[in-house]
Structure 1
Amino acid sequence: MPTTIAFDVYGTLIDTHGIVLELEKLVGEQAQHFSQTWRDKQLEYSFRRGLMQNYVDFSVVTRQALDYACLACQQGLTSAEREHLLEQYRTLPAFSDAKQALEQLKAQNHRLFAFSNGRGEAVTELLQAAGLDAYFQDIISVDELKSFKPNPAVYCHFLRRAQTNSETAWLVSSNPFDVLGAMSAGMRAAWVKRSGTAIFDPWGIEPNLTISSLVELEQTLNA
C-alpha cells in the first residue's frame, strides 16, 4: 500500500559535509572539524530560535553558524571566501544511496515529500542541483510556519500540507532530534544511521525503523 514519506533533506538526502573539499582549499587540515562545527552550530541556532520564537530564514542561520565556525577555528576567512562557501552550500551533493532509493520508492507509488528547515526555493535549488527534485510530489518547508524542527507544530503542518495523518505517514531522517520530534507528534519514523559510531539519543524511545542506507526503505516498507 502506498505510504506518505517525509524525507529530511540536509544530512539525510544531501551531504552537508560535501563542503569539505572546498574547505580544504581554505582551512587545510581543519576542514573536517570546521565542517562539523559549522553544521553543529547551524542546528543549535535553529533550536534556539525555535524556542525563542525569533525566526529567521535558514540561510541566515547557516551564515551565522559559518561566522561562528570561523571564530571557533580561528580562521579569518574574507567576506568573498565566506560568500563562496555559502554559494557552494546551495549545491551540496546527494548521498550515493539517495537517487536509487527514491527511484525504488516512486516506482512503488509511495507519496514522496521533501520536508526541510530550508526555505522552499532553496531546497528546490538544492534538489535540482543534486538531480533529486523530480522524485518528490512537493516540497514542504518549515518556513511556511516560521519555526524550526523539532517544534511539534511543523510536523502537524507537514501532515496538513500532505493531506495525510500521523498513522499513515513516515519521516525519514538521519538526525535523531528530527526522528524524536516526528514520533512525539505521532508520526512513524525511520532513522538513517549513516555512521557506525552514530548514537541515537537515549530517551527511552526507539525509532520505528533503523537503517544504514536509504535503499533499505523500499524492502522494509513493502514487507
Structure 2
Amino acid sequence: MEINRRNFLKDTLKLGTAGAILPASLSAFALPAAANPGEGLHILQPEGKNRFAGRPKVLFFDVNETLLDLEPLKVQVNTLLGNKDLGTLWFTSMLQYAFVTSLGRQYADFGTVGAAALEMIAANHGISLKPGDAMAVVKQIMHLEPHPDVKEGLSLLKDAGYTLVSFTNSSNYAVNQQLQHAGISSFFDRRISVQDFGRFKPDRDVYDWAARCMGVSNRESMLIAAHGWDIAGAAWAGWQSAFIARAGQQIFPLAPQPQLYENNLTALAQALTEMR
C-alpha cells in the first residue's frame, strides 16, 4: 500500500515545462491552460487597504443590518420555527438564494426569496408551516428600528453637504416602508432599489448602474455597508467603501479592503466630515 502511495505521489508531482502533470484519472478535473501567460482565472490574494480617491460625491447606504437592526426579525423567525438558532441561518440563506437568482439571470423580489428560503429551512428541520406563515414573518422586515447611532450619523453627513442615497436589495415598496418606519427617510436624497435593475448586489453591473443613476463615476461613489460581500462587490466595481462592524459581520479578506472601518455610523460620519 505504501509503495502504491509513493508511486501515485511521484506521478502526480512530476513537473515539466508546462507545469504539473496529472494522471489520466484526474485530468478531467484540471483547469484549462491559458492561451498566453497571465490569461485565464484571476487568483484572489489578500489585498491591502485602499487609498482614498478624493472626497466621494455620493454616499450609498446599504439598509438591512447596516442602518436597521435585523435582530428582532431573526427572533421572530426563531419563534416561528421553534428553534433559537435558525434566524441567522435564514437571513444568510435568503442572501444566498438571492445571489443564485442573479447568477441565473433571474429575478424575484427580496421578500419572495426570503419566504422561499424560510420554507426551505423549515423543511430541512422537519417543521410544518401553514400557507402564508413564511411571508407573514418576512414582511416584518419593513418594521425594523434603526441602530442607535444611525440618526446622529446621517445628520452629521447631511450637515456636511454629502448626497445620501439608500441602495438596497429590498424592493422599492419595502425600502420606502422601512425608511419611513425607522424615521430616517428625510435624510436621503434618493432611494435606489435593485428591483429596477433586476439583479441583486453584489453583481458588479448593479454598482455600475447605481453610479450612473446618480450621474457620478464609480470612483466618486462610496458604499457604506455592514456586509463583507457588499463591500467586496463595490470595491471590485471600482467604488470607494466604508465598513461598519455590526455584530457578527466581517470584511472579506480576499477583497480590496475598505477605505474606512468603524464600529458605528457616528464614528464613520465624523471621519467623513473631516475629508476635504
TM-score higher than 0.5: yes
Of 188, 206, 211, which residue of structure 2 is paired with 1:136?
188
Which has the greater radius of gyration? 2
Amino acid at match of 1:205: P
After superposition, where does 1:19-98 map in structure 2 within 5 Å?
Answer: 19-23=73-77, 25-28=79-82, 30-31=83-84, 33-98=85-150
Distance of 1:129 and 1:58 partners within structure 2: 18
2:196 equivalent to 1:147: no
**Alpha carbon RMSD of aligned pairs, Å?**
1.9
Select 1:11's aligned residue among 65, 73, 82.
65
Could you say what secondary structure the match of 1:215 adopts? helix
Name the CA distance, whole Å, in 1 between partners of 2:166 and 2:150.
12
Q: CA deviation at 1:119?
A: 1.4
CA distance in 2, matches of 1:212, 1:90: 24
Work out whether 1:211 is the aligned partner of 2:258: no
What displacement does 1:2 show? Answer: 7.3
Aligned to 1:192: 244
Q: Normalising by structure 2, report the TM-score.
A: 0.74
**Does the residue aligned with 1:95 lie in a helix, a strand or coil?**
coil
Q: Rate the CA distance shift 1:14–1:80 in 2: closer, same or farther, 3 A.
A: same
Q: What fraction of aligned residue pairs are identical, expressed as a percent? A: 28
Kindly tell me the number of residue pairs found equivalent between the two proteins.
220
Unaligned runs of 5+ in 2: 1-54
For residues 113-170 of structure 1, the C-alpha deviation after alignment (integer angstroms, 9 at most, x for no partner) is: 0001111121011111111111100111111111111111110111111121222221
Q: Secondary structure at the match of 1:6?
A: strand
Larger displacement relative to structure 2 (87-96 or 103-112): 87-96
Q: TM-score of the superposition, structure 1-length normalised? A: 0.91
Structure 1: any 5+ residue segments left out of the alignment?
none
Higher helix share: 1
